[in-house]
Every structure is written in C-alpha cells, then in structure tokens.
Amino acid sequence: MNNKTTDIKSNEGLFRDYLYKEYSYIAEAHFKTIETISTFFKHYLALMTIPIILITYLFATASKNVQIIEMINTLKLPGAILLIVIASAGCAVMLYIINLRLDALLYARTVNGIRKYFYDLSGIDTNIKLRMRTLPQTTSQPAYYETYYFLPVIFAFALLNSVYILAGSFILTNQFAPSFISSLIFFLMHIVFYRAYALHREAGYLKSNIIGIDIDGVLNKHRDHFCKLIKEKTMKDISPKEITHIPVHELGKTTLEEDNAVFNDPRYWVEMPLEDDSSKNMKKLRNIFKLKVFIFTYRGWPDVKQFSNEEKIEVLSNWRTTLVDYEKCVSTTLSKSAMGLNYHKLRNRFRKNKNIINRITKLWLENNNIEYNRLIIEKGNENTTDPRGLFYNRFNFSRKKRIKYFVEDDLEKAIKLAFLCDIVFLMDHPYNKFEAFSDMTIPPNIIRVKSWNDIYRNIRKLS
C-alpha cells in the first residue's frame, strides 16, 4: 500500500514537472506565433502596395508618353487578370494568417488551463487568488472570434484585396456598378471566412460529437443467445458466465465446427436479443447531447468455404428464406417512418444490397428501434490500426472522424481505440476482465461499464 502511495505521489510530481515545462514551451510558442503574424502582415502590406504604386505611376505619366498609353492598352487584359490573381492570393494569405492567429489563441487557452491547475494546487485563499490574478484560467478564453482585436486586421485584408478586384473587374468590363458589387461581395467574403474559421476552431477543431458503437456484446446479449443455440444444436449446457474467452471453442467447451454451426445459422443474427436499455439511452444521447451515432460491426457470415457445393446451396437458400421472412416480419412491426426515412425507400435500399448479412443487420437495428446516423460494416482486417492498410475498420474511422466516445466489448480493441478516442467505454463481460490481460497496460481513459445506463451517466458527467 505504501509503495502504491509513493508511486502515485511520484507520478503527480512528474506530471507537475511536465505541465511546468509545457507551460513554458507553449507560452513561448504563443508569442512567437504573434511575432510571425506581425512580420507576415508587414510583408503583405509592403508587397500589396507595390502594384498600386506602379499603376499610379503609369497612369500619371501616360498623358506625357504615347508609348506608355499603347503599352497600357496592350496589357489591359493580362493586367486585369493579374490584379484578380493578386487579390485571390491576398485572400489565401489572409486565411493562412487567420490559422496562425487561431493557433496562438489555442496556445493561450492551453496556458490558461495549466495556470488553473497550479493555482488550484497552491491552496491560496480564493479571495486572495482572485485579487492577485489578472490573467484568465479558463480554457474557453480568449474567444476565437475577436471583434475588437483581430477583426480590424481582417478589414485591412478585405479592403486591399477588394480594391484589386474592383480595379481588375472595371478594366475587364469598363462598368463601375458590376465591378463595385463584385468587390463588395469579395470584401464580405473575408469576414465570412474569418467567422467560419473561428466557429470551426470553437466547435469542430480537435473535437467531435460522434460516438462509435460496436454491436455484438454492446447492443445485444450475444453470450446468452450463443449458449441457447449451442444447447439446441449440441445438447451442451454452457452458462453465459462460463464464456471467459472468445472464441468459445478455445476454452475447450465447444469445437470450431460447433461454433461455426451457430454463426452459420441465420436465426443467430435474426433472433439476437437486445441489450437492456440500449435503444432508450441511445435516443437520449442523440436527442439531448446531439451525438452522432456510428455503429460498427464485422460480419463474415455465412461462411460456406468448408461446405460441398450441395451444402453451400442449402445453407445460402436457408439464409435467403430467413431474410425474406424477416423482412415480412419487420414490415408489420416497423414504423412507416423509421429514422425519418420512408419505409418503402428503406426496403428498396435493402433489396439493392447483395450481402444478406448486411441486410439482416440493418433490419435488426430497425426492428429494435436503434437510431443511428451511420452503419459501418467493416471489411478486410478488423484488428489493425495501421492507416497504411486503408482498412475499412473502426480504427481508421476513429482516426479520420475524430470519434470522441466509443463503446466496445473487446479489450484489445478498446486499448487500441483508447489512443484514438477521448473515452472508450468497455461493456463488462467475463471475457474482457483486466486480470486476464495482465501483460497489457490499460489506458486510464478506458471506463468499464455494466449497462447502458452507466454509459449515459458517464457521458452526462463528461459533457
């Protein structure tokens, strides 16, 4: 116990040292970014004024020199195009500087969070702390959209770039009104771009409102259902609590052939019981917390490679017959407008899908009132996190979509997902106990849960 306490204190000390160094580095990076913005803006102003000075000089001397007038007329079209290109390049430079400024604000917010940690750690009386502290200690400040500080810089960009658009358009059309309107629109675009970038940083950058959910062992009671069918097929009486490892045949309680017989039976997938309160809590997550639900599953069945041709025909015929019957069953129980989709359109979409198990999976979700935004049937290697493989699996999706939460039942996959998602909820099962994986370090952002009510309560706390 004393050793454990010593380790905790040692880790806390290391963490404080880390935060102190990070505070120093990020504060330095913050000021360097501001210096970069200032330098970049000065160079931009200097370069943008050169064409204006040149054009002014040419027009001023044009009346005294016929050759210059002829040169201006000759270069009229390419000159106008060049002015528009300069304006577009200026807009691109502005977007780059906006990103630099937003990075500086991100650093400032990070420093604020570290400042709060050390202020709270100090134990100073709150009244004294508030009187002596002038800089903020909240990660929501400063605001990304700065009306009084950075917006004037955007106005400067917008004004200069719009002048070039006005000049270029006027040279091309020789009409002031259309040229002025186009330059005004271009001017307003700069403000819109800045607002959009700031909103993205506030609500989207490094953030996500997506929850990834596995099906087997998370949305359904697959252990109970497996034990029911294995007893029916082999008369072996196995308790769901005895399944301390997956696949089950590696426990020695069944054979590989017996396991495959269960999974090759379409009733296993069609009659799969729903996990308690999963549908209700998923609706609450979507409606209350506005989370997008991405459902993941790997479906490699029916697997008929080991069968003879006659057996293959029989097995596939059984699957097709079951699918037809299941569609008829769903058509009598499913709402005519499931998830905002017309049922008949939904039905036609299922019929276009050639993969039977995929169609059964979608119908099972609909029949159990599982609301979701996207269903991902994984393909290829379902266990690798290597992005070079371009595998269609939960790991690459979590990386690309920056999935925030994930609900998993496989501990090995949960550990991998913990490096990609903020929080991974591990649905408690006998086969994913930490003790059985003593050789693996369990990341602290894996939270073990026993039910969907636990998941909802945790997300409510974390939101």
State the pLDDT at residue 341.
Answer: 40
Q: Does pLDDT of 342 surpass 60?
A: no
3-state class (DSSP) for residue 425 = strand
Q: What is the DSSP string of 432-447?
A: G-GGGGTTSPPPTTEE
Q: How far apart are CA 343 and CA 334, in angstroms?
A: 8
What mean pLDDT comes out for the span 53-79? Answer: 61
β partners of residue 372: none
Q: How far apart are CA 136 and CA 134, in angstroms?
A: 7
Kindly report the number of other CB atoms within 10 A of residue 328's CB atom.
Answer: 9
What mean pLDDT comes out for the span 187-211? Answer: 91
State the pLDDT at residue 83.
Answer: 86
Tokens 């996500």 identify what position? 208
Q: Per CATH, which fold does 211-462 belong to?
A: Rossmann fold (3.40.50)
What mean pLDDT comes out for the span 108-124? Answer: 84
Q: Does pLDDT of 440 surpass 60?
A: yes
**Per-residue exposure over 81-116, b if at least 16 CB sit within 10 Å of its own CB, e if not:** eebbebbeebbebbeebbebbbbbbbbbbbbbebbe
State the pLDDT at residue 28.
Answer: 82
Least confident of 89-98, 168-177, 325-334, 367-376: 325-334
Q: How far apart are CA 31 and CA 179, in angstroms?
A: 40
What mean pLDDT comes out for the span 420-436? Answer: 91
What stretches of 63-143 show up as alpha helix (H) in DSSP?
66-74, 76-122, 126-132
* Distances from the Cα of 214 to the Cα of 265, 273, 385, 410, angstroms: 21, 15, 16, 9
H helix or E strand, kind and range, residue 188: helix 176-203
State the pLDDT at residue 311.
Answer: 87
Tokens 């210096």 identify what position? 35
Mean pLDDT of the chain: 84
State the pLDDT at residue 13.
Answer: 73
* % of the chain with per-residue pLDDT over 90: 48
Q: Which two tokens stand for residue 24?
A: 């120093």
Q: How far apart are CA 366 and CA 214, in angstroms?
A: 16
What mean pLDDT comes out for the span 223-250? Answer: 94
Per-residue pLDDT band for 322 (boundaries 50, 70, 90) equals very high
State the pLDDT at residue 426.
Answer: 97
Written as one letter, the residue type at 331 is: S
Per-residue pLDDT band for 350 (boundaries 50, 70, 90) equals very low
Tokens 């040692």 identify what position? 10
What mean pLDDT comes out for the span 213-225? Answer: 96
Every domain of the chain and the residues it spans: 2-207, 211-462
3-state class (DSSP) for residue 123 = coil
H helix or E strand, kind and range, residue 427: strand 423-427
Kindly report the number of other CB atoms within 10 A of residue 154's CB atom.
Answer: 19
Pairing state of beta strands 341-342 and 423-427? unpaired
| Dihedral over alpha carbons 251, 256, 262, 266 (to 10 degrees) | 140
Q: Are 302 and 266 in contact (CB under 8 A)?
A: yes
* Distances from the Cα of 98 to the Cα of 10, 87, 141, 204, 379, angstroms: 41, 16, 17, 16, 40
Least confident of 85-94, 256-265, 335-344: 335-344
Q: Which two tokens stand for residue 360?
A: 């059964």
State the pLDDT at residue 337.
Answer: 39
State the pLDDT at residue 2.
Answer: 53
Q: Are 191 and 273 in contact (CB under 8 A)?
A: no
Pairwise pLDDT comparison (10 vs 319), residue with the higher score: 319
